[in-house]
Structure 1
């Protein structure tokens, strides 16, 4: 019993040591009463907790070890701030203007260092090449020429004062970003290098935001001739039943969805459905969101937030022989091209007792209201952009996305473009 007590005591002590706080200072005129903390798993944000401010400070207590990316979303003012955790207290101060975050000051050591490194890298990538190109147009002994040389030398330097060696997550992120995602052609890595990195990397791979872009780099490195073979090789190496294998499988399904690679998506979604092992939460969420929008499935109901052009309270309350659901945004260029074509045929759709319901992924109220003034169909939006609750429910990865429902809200078609919508109803 004594040994068990000692082990238990050590575990309690460890958990207490692992806990850290996230404090976000806001000005008194910031009209926000809620903040939601997220961690990261691959490319998926995971909700941790929701807090309200006390004395103009939002404070989150995180009870476990966590090294990786985090974000806080302010739902009422639609602001998002991102930062990192190295299992130590995080301290952030916001500058706000008209309820929009204008500046972020990272007061803790790790985030301050990460910000400086990121800023320096961006300047090297964006500003240094431009300065190098124009330096030949100015005499070296001129005042501007001298200043230009000093700035080029500074940006070309090694930044030894930004040494991240004592910061495990910063070192991990920057080292592997430079190795696998840099535009430097001299640092090309092979597909085998990427497979070994994904296989051998520690848990920070899932929390770093690197996983999806590294997977895209891997698919591109293998070329278009045998994407399926490259994926099979990776999944065989990882063992698809393992937590990492399932996370990678989930990411690949989403990637194939985004790039409209339907055959590959269907193949690996089928693989996921047929797994006999315990399914992780990450993969389970991918399976559920895809099952929600399969042909023949009942389209999950949605309670409208502030819908216009209707008195209905939800999608199911809208009565029609058919419904066209379109997820769109006023900032989406494809929507700008497609929705006017839907508008041209709107009266013909109404004559067939077909209702159009627009669900917007906008986050700017003024832009949204201006755009929907031209759309006579039912429109609704949470004004939370890609933080909208329905993006995961309906597996939305791009706009516009269309669904056609029957009178019983069953999905009968998933058109890729507005032309396919109109063709379905013989209105081209």
Structure 2
């Protein structure tokens, strides 16, 4: 009996230890204190833990087995470092300039190898075809012709083959990226829908953590053509079964894809399917359902506490009193915003006279760019300055900028215009 207790104590102690650690080093001039570690589920970043700076080193302990994409995010400066895990310790060194990420040095074997593989793949895809065309204009016996030939042979000879026993995730990623997402013109490598369905059905858990799921699903929809979207999706979901975690993750991704590509008919159909499921719902699908429920017609628009609001003393969205509110998610780098927001500006006084408030919530990352832009906008402006890492994205189901909502005096959603013209038309100002 004594031996059993000893063994039990050893196992308990072992279970408390991390499967692996992630260590990030930065120069002393880097000012951030907090950093957040994320894993990946489909196309969604999943928060694991937050750590604080200790002598410009952040050390994260990951308690479970994990192979896939990861990210460390520094919210104060909006810097992010992407890397992979093969369930082994990860070590990263950041080079920064003016508190912004300048370069990343991967000190562990897996990430160093993955980085080099990615670089060689990009050269083969982007540079090799261009060099092959240029070579036609130079003879092989010239100095430049010889250099071109040498570089073409070098790039053409680059191999992305990896021993799967040594680097299972890199092998998985490279193999399936090359098979399903490369722009190969070789007819022998052409992939059909059945191939993709089989892959999505039979693949191991690295599918969800690989970042491949979303682009493979887009490829699947494209391969079926616009006339057979429902048939393609139904075939896939029937095979995967929406009661399973894989099926629900795929269903969630499809709903987001239809939302992002403005395919409202299909989004409604499969969002309704998700709502009517009687089985246990995964966290991934629950997030999609919640995000969509937040912005349904008639729903109370979730309140948000302002960070550093301009043109108001209000502390939150609900503190703003008006007969109606126009909410616009935008960015100073968004070309559509560049053309649409001046149209709102031209009608600002007319809207204000009707006690209609405009509230701009920016998905900017650069404070200077954001500050310069809002100087021309007299309405309420605020931003977390975290870009697509902003809390706005999931809370308000934002997939593109600009995105508009019209609220009544009680902050209920009464209209979801597609464009600024629809906003002005709603208020009879067009």
Compute the displacement of 1:137 (Å): 1.5
Compute the displacement of 1:141 (Å): 1.3
Match of 2:285 among 278, 283, 286: 283
| Distance across 2 between alignment mates of 1:2 and 1:177 | 53
2:326 aligned with 1:303, yes or no?
A: no
SS of the equivalent of 1:316 reads helix
Compute the displacement of 1:405 (Å): 0.1
- Give the direction of change, closer, same or farther, for the CA distance of 1:196–1:396 in structure 2 (3 Å limit): same
Compute the displacement of 1:185 (Å): 2.3
Partner of 1:217: 219
Partner of 2:120: 120
Partner of 2:99: 99
Partner of 1:398: 400
Contiguous gaps of at least 5 residues in structure 1? none
SS of the equivalent of 2:69 reads strand
Compute the displacement of 1:165 (Å): 5.2
Compute the displacement of 1:158 (Å): 3.8
SS of the equivalent of 1:249 reads helix
Partner of 1:52: 52
| 8 Å contact from structure 1 (residues 20, 63) kept in 2 | yes
| Distance across 1 between alignment mates of 2:13 and 2:235 | 43
Compute the displacement of 1:261 (Å): 0.6
- Give the direction of change, closer, same or farther, for the CA distance of 1:377–1:135 in structure 2 (3 Å limit): same
| Distance across 1 between alignment mates of 2:119 and 2:68 | 19
Match of 2:208 among 206, 209, 216: 206
Partner of 1:42: 42
Q: Which moved more, 1:91-100 or 1:18-27?
A: 18-27
User: What pairs with 1:169-318 in structure 2 (closer than 5 Å)?
Assistant: 169-186=169-186, 187-318=189-320
TM-score normalised according to structure 2 size:
0.96
Partner of 2:145: 145
| 8 Å contact from structure 1 (residues 334, 399) kept in 2 | yes
SS of the equivalent of 2:136 reads helix
| 8 Å contact from structure 1 (residues 304, 313) kept in 2 | yes
- Give the direction of change, closer, same or farther, for the CA distance of 1:280–1:47 in structure 2 (3 Å limit): same
| 8 Å contact from structure 2 (residues 294, 301) kept in 1 | yes
User: What pairs with 1:337-376 in structure 2 (closer than 5 Å)?
Assistant: 337-376=339-378
| 8 Å contact from structure 1 (residues 113, 162) kept in 2 | no
Q: Report the count of equivalent residues.
A: 428
| 8 Å contact from structure 2 (residues 18, 61) kept in 1 | no
Partner of 1:108: 108
TM-score normalised according to structure 1 size:
0.97
| 8 Å contact from structure 1 (residues 25, 56) kept in 2 | yes
SS of the equivalent of 1:185 reads coil
RMSD: 1.8
| Distance across 2 between alignment mates of 1:254 and 1:6 | 51
Contiguous gaps of at least 5 residues in structure 2? none
Partner of 1:131: 131
| Distance across 1 between alignment mates of 2:328 and 2:95 | 36
Compute the displacement of 1:128 (Å): 0.7
Q: Deviations over 1:389-415 (max 9, x none)?
A: 121100111100000000000000000
SS of the equivalent of 2:92 reads strand
| 8 Å contact from structure 1 (residues 116, 162) kept in 2 | no
Partner of 1:76: 76
Compute the displacement of 1:11 (Å): 6.1
- Give the direction of change, closer, same or farther, for the CA distance of 1:146–1:273 in structure 2 (3 Å limit): same
| Distance across 2 between alignment mates of 1:286 and 1:190 | 29
Q: Deviations over 1:295-351 (max 9, x none)?
A: 000000011000000111111010100000000000111111111111111111001
Partner of 2:380: 378
Compute the displacement of 1:136 (Å): 1.8
Compute the displacement of 1:15 (Å): 4.0
